[in-house]
Amino acid sequence: MIFLTALPLFWIMIAASRGGHWGAWMPSSISAFEGTCVSIPCRFDFPDELRPAVVHGVWYFNSPYPKNYPPVVFKSRTQVVHESFQGRSRLLGDLGLRNCTLLLSNLSPELGGKYYFRGDLGGYNQYTFSEHSILDIINTPNIVVPLEVVAGTEVEVSCMVPDNCPELRPELSWLGHDGLGEPAVLGRLREDEGTWVQVSLLHFVPTREANGHRLGCQASFPNTTLQFEGYASLDVKYPPVIVEMNSSVEAIEGSHVSLLCGADSNPPPLLTWMRDGTVLQEAVTESLFLELDEVTPREDGVYACLAENAYGQDNRTVGLSVMYAPWKPTVNGTVVAVEGETVSILCSTQSNPDPILTIFKEKQILGTVIYESELQLELPAVTPEDDGEYWCVAENQYGQRATAFNLSVEFAPVILLESHCAAARDTVQCLCVVKSNPEPSVAFELPSRNVTVNETEREFVYSERSGLLLTSILTLRGQAQAPPRVICTSRNLYGTKSLELPFQGAHRLMWAKIGPVGAVVAFAILIAIVCYITQTRRKKNVTESPSFSSGDNPPVLFSSDFRISGAPEKYESERRLGSERRLLGLRGEPPELDLSYSHSDLGKRPTKDSYTLTEELAEYAEIRVK
């Protein structure tokens, strides 16, 4: 099927090669003003052997291939066109005479583009010509100025506008030509590709001041409101004149200095900065900056600027005087000293004039000199308070520079007074705060248990360092009832310090042990004892037996011997733990060392053989107070 379809086309190509060829002619480009019309001249040809009875044609927009469904501009068979061209396109030529000239009216910017013609002779005798015309929709006239306009030499400037609309003819006039000359209109001219233009000429002799002058041309269409204007700036050539340059310049060392040389010329001149005959910088430009970064006294001197182009030259000079602010002060490095030693710090700089030198720490001035380049600071018998960051500042009327340095004071450990132990729940937490430099080692000693725990045992000790302070926390589980002695020992290469940590809240241990429920039970027992003693005394009064002695009285139990486990004690322990946590400032529960031991190890209070009611109530009241 494909072969049968392609065969007629093959014979048409052979016939065309014997009797003629398919071809078209039209201008490669054509222009017209927006709102006017344009006539695109077009002729086409086809092989003579075809001899069609009727010749049809189609104009496409922006694509020559029908399979791409390009917008139809004009179609002779159906008169069906794309909506953008409805009422705007018309065929001026006679297709039978192989004339395909197209007229487009009421032009708008979206109609600018490529236009292709396709010949339709019937059947397979259809051909889209590769030749096409590019339509340019314009809004301004074209002003043509000669490539070179020299001051003092006569010049000719022309204004050209397209004249391809048979329905509207443009008229030209000049704008801004006062003092330049009188215009002369040549009229309508035909271009090489068959398009038409209207031309107007203007002759004048330019001056230096005319450079950049805006010259305009106006195209108008009679009996319409259409009016278009175009402008061109005159490019007048003339020799350079240096019009801008620094006067004498003063600058401080280390600053950025810009020396400017500006010349008025056309074309732009070659500007050259020189010093002592040496070229420092050059460029073809109207203004040239000589950039001097971090100037020193060596840059002091006279600088010359030379401006030149093909039409002449000019030159001028400028002097540079360098002053400088203090350089960044230098100190004898970071100082490390042992407590009690004398430290000497030297700060020096260079400036013109000499600076004011100041050494301070934390906004406190330690030493200062005026109009000197060195400052010696002596610190006798340094202490840990001298440790920290220092600043040396140098300043004069041209600026200020500063340098920071550190003094590190090393000393033996000092255990601070806030170190202590405190009960929390069923545990005891011991806090040891040490100030030292360099960082010390910390160990906790429990003499009664013959146990020593150091900070390397992360499972039991939590440590944190902030500046010169090291905080270590030891947690003992099951020690709240009878906390052991805890000794904190800290050491570094300068010494060792030990402190037995005081226990805070020792008077509350008994109340923590008994708890609220234990107190209630103890009170109930006391009531029972009172009842028992009362009955016994009644019997004694009745019988008055001499054999009755106090040794026969049943023993009275001390309330501390009764310990009721459960929620009340847990509640009291949790309350104490929260209090101790706030005291220690902990964010989490540190690791705990479980050193639990039996209650049998605790020394119990001996039981009395007998108590009077008054003594028992006082005992109970004392317990409640505690």
The fold of the 142-234 domain, in CATH, is: Immunoglobulin-like (2.60.40)
pLDDT of residue 521: 60
Judge if 330-410 and 416-504 fold alike in CATH terms: yes
pLDDT of amino acid 623:
37
Positions of the chain with pLDDT under 70:
1-20, 185, 333-334, 479-482, 505-523, 537-626
Q: Which pLDDT value is given to residue 374?
A: 93
Q: Are 213 and 126 in contact (CB under 8 A)?
A: no
pTM score of the predicted model: 0.43
pLDDT for position 333: 63
Q: What is the pLDDT of residue 457?
A: 80
Which pLDDT does position 411 carry in this prediction?
A: 92
Query: What pLDDT does 327 receive?
Result: 87
Fold of 241-322: Immunoglobulin-like (2.60.40)
Quote the CA–CA distance of 447 and 488 in Å, as a whole number.
11
Assess contact for 370 and 318: CB atoms under 8 A.
no
Architecture of domain 23-138: Sandwich (2.60)
Instruction: Say which DSSP state 334 is in.
Output: -
Question: Which pLDDT does position 177 carry in this prediction?
Answer: 85
CATH for the 416-504 domain, from 2.60.40.10, 3.40.30.10, 3.40.50.11540, 2.60.40.420? 2.60.40.10
Q: What is the pLDDT of residues 357-400, one digit of tens each?
A: 999 998 899 999 999 999 999 999 999 888 889 999 999 998 89
DSSP notation for 63-120: -S-GGG-PPEEEETTT----GGGTTTEEE-S-GGGTB--EEE-S--GGG-EEEEEEEE
Q: CB of 262 within 8 A of CB of 232?
A: no
For the chain, the domains span 23-138, 142-234, 241-322, 330-410, 416-504
Angle between helices 509-543 and 567-584 (to 10 degrees): 140
CATH topology of domain 330-410: Immunoglobulin-like (2.60.40)
**3 state SS for 180-198:** CCCEEEEEEEECCCCCEEE
Spatial separation of the C-alpha atoms in residues 46 and 92, rounded to whole Å:
20
393 Rama sector, left if φ>0, alpha if ψ -120 to 50, beta otherwise: beta
